[in-house]
């Protein structure tokens, strides 16, 4: 027989009544919660989770606890959950209570998505409304104020006469169909996951429901995340069956978070969030590896009444709301990486490290929104974190430690801007990985991958390059070897240099770029000499191919321990004269450009860079032009378009006049005077070319029409009028 699931409110209190009545407006919480048992302060010991004052230990010196903002959502947070849908299965959404219905309308508006009809029971409990408010209500409690919340009411009267959540597969299917991939469940059976009765997998399946269990497995494998309240019994060292389910079904762990609630031990003031008042509810126990803790005390308003409440029911949605913010900021993250990010950025409390009381620690929303702080095998559930980054640029700004590595997939760019001391390997299969600062991990770049290092990047290990390595900053240090394959490309931007402490083995293509700080630079005829690679050891091999911008020369000088590149500009006139697209007009333009470039060279070499800054930028873009665009660039600078446009104007006028003349000729050939009147409409269209030897070809297109009325008076007079519209392009 299935055990009844319980909503997990520990305490609920009406603190202000603005108008008469309504003392029980907190919903079913008052009937389902029990007074908090008295817990004696333990004697502090070396491994105790309490400090000498009896408070939960605070082990992180980088964060100061703020009772007014216990889960650290700071003003720097710009995400609101927009574009993300969260699913909530709970009680109270199918309500006949006018106050609760008004509450849903006022706090969520159209963002609360409910089924068009309910087949379940009506509990008139506002537990689910409070949970949803914490996730994304427009009140001060809301974590993700613009998230869409799809809800299902699971209320069902139990044999004890009370209402309990009784989820069905149709409820989950509804939420999933509305786009929910993050699910909040603030309920669970009153039984720890470690209880011996759950040793039988058939009993677990019977309790959960085989169809729901199958849904969990499929959804987790497809990237969903399920957030659960651990329970409210302080005597329980472990969470409920649901929150601890990966202990019984290990494949669920990558998409599962158990949330331990911290709550005021006094039922008289349940919303109190002072650190000295916080006690752990049901512990992390065997679920510690997928557990985060959150301070659960809240003050909320229903109708005209204010209430305080706490319990793991209200800790879980704080984590769910955070997951929604992460999904908005990093839309490519799956449930597993969102889980890893939330857990790895938690503030260490209690016993140091991941412990049986609080798991990874206290929720830290601000830090979570800067990306993971650990690439850890315990979180990755394997050797590597996998980042499937879609198009766009995304930044992880936390310092990242840990013993796992990272595999970068997808066409987007991932920037790791902190100090990265994780010791696993890095493999970039596709897209771009951008690094600065310290980087301990070894780098492997696949054929479709790109790694960019910026100013003062310190790579403590080596690079194996089969794809593209871009050095865009000076003073890059490669602590190990640089080994390139024949398919590799080494891109060195202007002013960039790399020092290889190990063995440098060159191969493939060198691209000497005139880009600096993201902007194309002008190169003079005298040019610049760039030292791009130095090494403590003799450099092996060489580049088989050298590339640079179209109008630049790149000459490589390789010595035993260094590689230099001389960049200089080509003579524009000489270059254009050798091209198949060369003609008299384009050669004249090239001559004029070369004259201008020589003057620009003189100004730059004499130190007058400020006076020619604007022209220098434009000239740099001309130097970068590709061969397919060269003809268009030269033609646009020739001024020929003005002469071509004038010639087309004359042709256009002749075409219109000829069309009108055709009408007059037709009228003049009619024999019957009675027929010599009428309304007429004509259309014209023509394609052509303007061409002269030695000049560019102008393709022309003309279209238009005329409408007119005319009448003949006798044999020698025709009166009429005509309107004409036409357009020509060259």
Catalytic center residues: 90, 127, 313
Q: What share of the chain is helix, strand, coil (3-state, %, to 5)?
A: 30, 30, 40
Helix (H) or strand (E) holding 690: strand 677-690
What contacts 244, CB < 8 A, 6 or more positions away?
Answer: 192, 193, 194, 230, 238, 258, 285, 286, 287
CB 372 within 8 A of CB 345: yes
Strand locations in 42-125, DSSP E? 85-90, 112-113
Strand partners, 445: 428, 465
Rounded CA-CA distance 420/414 in Å is: 14
Rounded CA-CA distance 124/660 in Å is: 82
Rounded CA-CA distance 689/687 in Å is: 7
- Residue 288 — φ and ψ, nearest 5°? -60, -30
DSSP 247-292: GTSGGGGGGEEEEEEEEES-TTSTT---GGGEEE-S--GGGGGGEE
CA 616 to chain centre: 36
**The CA-based dihedral angle spanning residues 59, 62, 67, 71, taken in that order and rounded to the nearest 10 degrees:** -90
Rounded CA-CA distance 216/122 in Å is: 26
DSSP 168-184: -HHHHHHHHHTT--EEE
- Residue 651 — φ and ψ, nearest 5°? -60, -40
Rounded CA-CA distance 463/458 in Å is: 12
Rounded CA-CA distance 645/652 in Å is: 10
Question: Taking Cα atoms as reference points, which of 186, 213, 289 lies closest to residue 247?
Answer: 289
CB 433 within 8 A of CB 414: yes
Question: Taking Cα atoms as reference points, which of 392, 420, 390 lies closest to residue 405?
Answer: 420
Q: Is 336 left (phi over 0), alpha (psi -120 to 50) or beta?
A: alpha
Helix (H) or strand (E) holding 597: helix 584-605
**b or e along 86-102 (b: 16 or more beta carbons within 10 Å of the residue's beta carbon)?**
bbbbbbbbbbebeebee
CB 518 within 8 A of CB 498: no
CB atoms near residue 514 (< 10 Å): 22
Tokens of 455: 């100013």
- Token look-up 């506002």 returns 126
Rounded CA-CA distance 128/313 in Å is: 9
Give the number of residues written for the chain: 730
CA atoms within 13 A on the CB side of 563: 28
CA atoms within 13 A on the CB side of 153: 27
Strands 463-465 and 482-484: parallel
Rounded CA-CA distance 48/28 in Å is: 36
Rounded CA-CA distance 321/225 in Å is: 12
């Amino acid at each position: 027989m299935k055990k009844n699931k319980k909503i997990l409110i520990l305490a609920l209190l009406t603190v202000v009544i603005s108008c008469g009545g309504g003392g029980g407006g907190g919903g079913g919480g008052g009937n389902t919660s029990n007074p908090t048992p008295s817990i004696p302060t333990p004697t502090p010991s070396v491994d105790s989770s309490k400090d000498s004052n009896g408070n939960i230990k605070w082990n992180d010196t980088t964060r100061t606890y703020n009772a007014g903002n216990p889960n650290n959502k700071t003003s720097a947070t710009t995400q609101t959950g927009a574009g993300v849908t969260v699913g909530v299965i709970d009680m109270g959404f199918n309500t006949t209570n006018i106050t609760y219905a008004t509450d849903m309308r006022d706090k969520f508006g159209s963002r609360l998505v409910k089924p068009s009809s309910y087949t379940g029971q009506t509990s008139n409990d506002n537990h689910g409304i409070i949970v949803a408010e914490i996730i994304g209500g427009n009140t001060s409690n809301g974590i993700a104020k613009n998230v869409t919340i799809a809800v299902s009411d699971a209320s069902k009267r139990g044999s004890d006469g009370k209402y309990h959540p009784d989820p069905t597969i149709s409820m989950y299917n509804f939420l999933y169909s509305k786009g929910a991939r993050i699910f909040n469940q603030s309920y669970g059976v009153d039984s720890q996951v470690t209880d011996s009765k759950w040793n039988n997998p058939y009993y677990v399946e019977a309790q959960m429901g085989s169809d729901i269990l199958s849904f969990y497995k499929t959804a987790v494998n497809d990237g969903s995340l399920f957030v659960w309240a651990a329970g409210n019994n302080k005597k329980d060292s472990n969470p409920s069956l649901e929150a601890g389910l990966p202990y019984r079904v290990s494949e669920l762990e990558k998409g599962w978070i158990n949330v331990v609630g911290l709550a005021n031990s006094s039922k008289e003031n349940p919303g109190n969030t002072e650190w000295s008042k916080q006690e752990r509810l049901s512990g992390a126990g065997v679920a510690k590896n997928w557990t985060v803790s959150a301070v659960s005390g809240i003050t909320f308003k229903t109708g005209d009444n204010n209430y305080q409440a706490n319990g793991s029911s209200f800790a879980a949605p704080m984590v769910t709301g955070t997951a929604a913010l992460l999904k908005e900021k990093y839309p490519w993250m799956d449930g597993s990486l969102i889980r890893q990010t939330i857990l790895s950025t938690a503030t260490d409390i209690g016993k140091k490290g991941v412990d049986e009381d609080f798991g990874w620690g206290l929720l830290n929303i601000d830090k979570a929104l800067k990306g993971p702080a650990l690439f850890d095998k315990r979180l990755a559930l394997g050797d590597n974190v996998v980042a499937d980054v879609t198009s766009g640029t995304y930044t992880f700004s936390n310092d990242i430690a840990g013993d796992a590595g990272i595999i970068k997939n997808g066409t987007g760019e991932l920037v790791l801007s902190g100090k990265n001391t994780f010791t696993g390997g890095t493999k970039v299969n596709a897209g771009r990985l951008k690094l600065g600062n310290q980087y301990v991990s070894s780098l492997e770049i696949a054929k479709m991958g790109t790694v960019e290092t910026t100013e003062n990047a310190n790579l403590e290990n080596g690079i194996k390059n089969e794809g593209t390595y871009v050095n865009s900053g000076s003073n890059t240090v490669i602590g190990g070897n640089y080994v390139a394959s024949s398919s590799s490309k080494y891109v060195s931007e202007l002013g960039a240099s790399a020092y290889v402490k190990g063995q440098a083995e060159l191969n493939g293509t060198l691209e000497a770029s005139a880009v600096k700080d993201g902007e194309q630079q002008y190169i003079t005829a005298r040019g610049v000499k760039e030292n791009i690679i130095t090494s403590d050891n003799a450099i092996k091999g060489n580049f088989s191919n050298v590339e640079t911008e179209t109008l630049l020369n790149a000459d490589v000088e390789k010595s035993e321990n260094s590689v230099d590149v001389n960049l200089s500009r080509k003579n524009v006139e000489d270059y254009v004269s050798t091209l198949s697209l060369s003609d008299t007009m384009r050669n004249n333009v090239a001559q004029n450009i070369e004259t201008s470039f020589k003057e620009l060279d003189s100004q730059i070499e004499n130190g007058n860079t400020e006076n020619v800054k604007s022209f220098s930028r434009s000239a740099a873009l001309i130097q970068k032009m590709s061969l397919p665009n060269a003809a268009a660039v030269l033609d646009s600078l020739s001024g020929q378009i003005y002469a071509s446009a004038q010639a087309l104007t004359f042709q256009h006028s002749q075409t219109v006049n000829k069309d009108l003349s055709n009408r007059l000729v037709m009228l003049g050939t009619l024999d019957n005077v009675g027929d010599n009147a009428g309304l007429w409409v004509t259309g014209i269209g023509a394609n052509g070319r303007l061409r002269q030897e030695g000049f560019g070809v102008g393709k022309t297109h003309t279209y238009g029409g005329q409408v007119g009325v005319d009448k003949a008076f006798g044999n020698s007079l025709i009166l009429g009028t005509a309107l004409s519209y036409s357009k020509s392009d060259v």
